[in-house]
Amino acid sequence: MLDDSRYLCRLGVNVDHVATLRQNRGTMYPDPVAAALEAEAAGAHQITVHLREDRRHIQERDLELLRRSVQTAVNLEMAAPAEMIRFACRIRPDQVTLVPERRQELTTEGGLDAAGQKKSLGAAVRRLMKSNITVSLFIDPDPRQIEAATDIGAYAVELHTGEYANARTRRQAVREFDRLAAAAREAQTSGLRVFAGHGLHYRNTRPVAELTEIEELNIGHSIVARAVFVGMRRAVREMLDTIRRTEPPTPLPPFPPTYRPAA
Ligand code: PXP
């Protein structure tokens, strides 16, 4: 996967909510595939989509087209029933993020219970990895879940940032951030790659990106919401600006070179 040293981590842009708008009216527009290409043109490192069981936003057709048009990487978020695993093995996204799914939820409302489903998740992970797909497990920043993800043999965990993002008080935000930081350290020490996402927006993303263990953020709702006003490219660029490294660039060699008279 792309390594871009201008940023603290990779940015995966989730385009589900473009599809939500389309599905609301049953029209052909706006097309999440077009949004994905705009996001890539703005510098996104990955396109993320969630294929839900009820197909409320992203459709199978979108994934087939994304697979053929996205030049960076496709990250497919999905639950782990057998038919979804078969679908992923046919489409072959670069990465699958396994998430829990409850029909009535507004969005993914918590991490996977990896500790309680080690056997079934382990089988799903092995099947996906056999098809050369990187597998990440979306989990709460909880030591029990990290230990289970390690035992299962996942490549990565995506830490659920929802509790941090939805904190109502500064104290609560600090407490949730500390949990994230500790989980990121623990996951990396256990040999897992560490990603994060959910509920991140233009004002709460930077501290998460600054956690050195975190290599990838997946962000959707806030970017698509901003795109309504400024367009997709600018919305993605603004998010990239929030995760840009701030160290001064390496100084250029002196110019013009020091004049040395001929001996
Ligand atoms: N990561 C995961 C695993 C998700 O399920 C979602 C929502 O689909 C996101 C990241 C993006 O969350 P948001 O839309 O709140 O930025």
d(CA 96, CA 80): 10
The whole-number average pLDDT for the span 124-132 is 97
pLDDT of residue 69: 98
- Pocket lining: 205 vs ligand 1, CB cutoff 6 Å: no
204 CB near ligand 1 (under 6 Å): no
Residue 3 in tokens = 């390594």
Q: What is the DSSP letter of 96?
A: E
pLDDT of residue 257: 60
Q: According to the model, what pLDDT value does residue 103 have?
A: 63
- For the domain bounded by 10-242, which CATH number is listed? 3.20.20.70
Which of helix, strand or coil describes residue 137?
A: strand
pLDDT band at 109 (very low <50, low <70, confident <90, very high): confident
- Residue 139 makes CB contacts below 8 A (sequence gap 6+) with 111, 112, 114, 145, 146, 148, 149, 157, 158, 159, 160
108 in contact with ligand 1, CB cutoff 6 A: yes
Q: What's the pLDDT tens digit per position in 169-205?
A: 999 999 999 999 999 999 999 999 999 999 999 999 9
Is residue 77 in contact with ligand 1, taking CB distance under 6 Å?
Answer: yes
Nearest to 216 by CA among 165, 162, 159, 132: 159
Higher pLDDT, 90 or 107: 90
- Mean predicted lDDT score pLDDT of the chain: 94
Give the integer Cα–Cα distance in Å for 60 and 126: 23
* Model pLDDT, residue 239: 98
| Boundaries of every domain in the chain | 10-242
pLDDT-above-70 percentage for the chain: 90
Q: Is 0.75 surpassed by the pTM of this model?
A: yes
pLDDT higher than 80, residue 254 = no
In testing the pocket of ligand 1, which one of 218, 226, 239, 242 has its CB within 8 Å of the most ligand atoms? 218
User: Which pLDDT does position 247 carry in this prediction?
Assistant: 74
Checking if the pLDDT of 158 tops 60, the result is yes
Cα–Cα distance measured from residue 90 to residue 131, given in angstroms and rounded to the nearest whole number: 9
- In this model, does residue 260 exceed pLDDT 70? no
Give the model's confidence band at 261: pLDDT under 50 very low, under 70 low, under 90 confident, else very high: low
pLDDT given at position 4: 78
Q: Is the CB of 216 under 6 A from ligand 1?
A: no
| pLDDT at position 101 | 84
Decide: 198 in ligand 1 pocket, CB within 6 A.
yes
Ligand 1 atom with least separation from CA of 224: 14
Residue 62's pLDDT is 98
Q: Which atom of ligand 1 is nearest to the CA of 198?
A: 12
**Ligand 1 midpoint to CA 251 (Å):** 38
Nearest atom of ligand 1 to the alpha carbon of 165: 15
Phi-psi region of 33 (alpha: psi -120 to 50; beta: other; left: phi over 0): alpha
Q: Is the pLDDT of residue 2 over 60?
A: no
- If you count them, how many residues does the chain have? 263
Sign of the torsion formed by the C-alpha atoms of 6, 197, 201 and 43: positive
Q: Residue 208 half-sphere exposure, CB side, CA atoms within 13 Å?
A: 36
The answer on pLDDT for 56 being more than 80 is yes
Which residues are identified as catalytic?
A: 50, 77, 198
Residue 38 reports pLDDT greater than 60: yes
User: Which pLDDT score is estimated for 259?
Assistant: 62
Question: What is the distance in A from the centroid of ligand 1 to the CA of 34?
Answer: 19
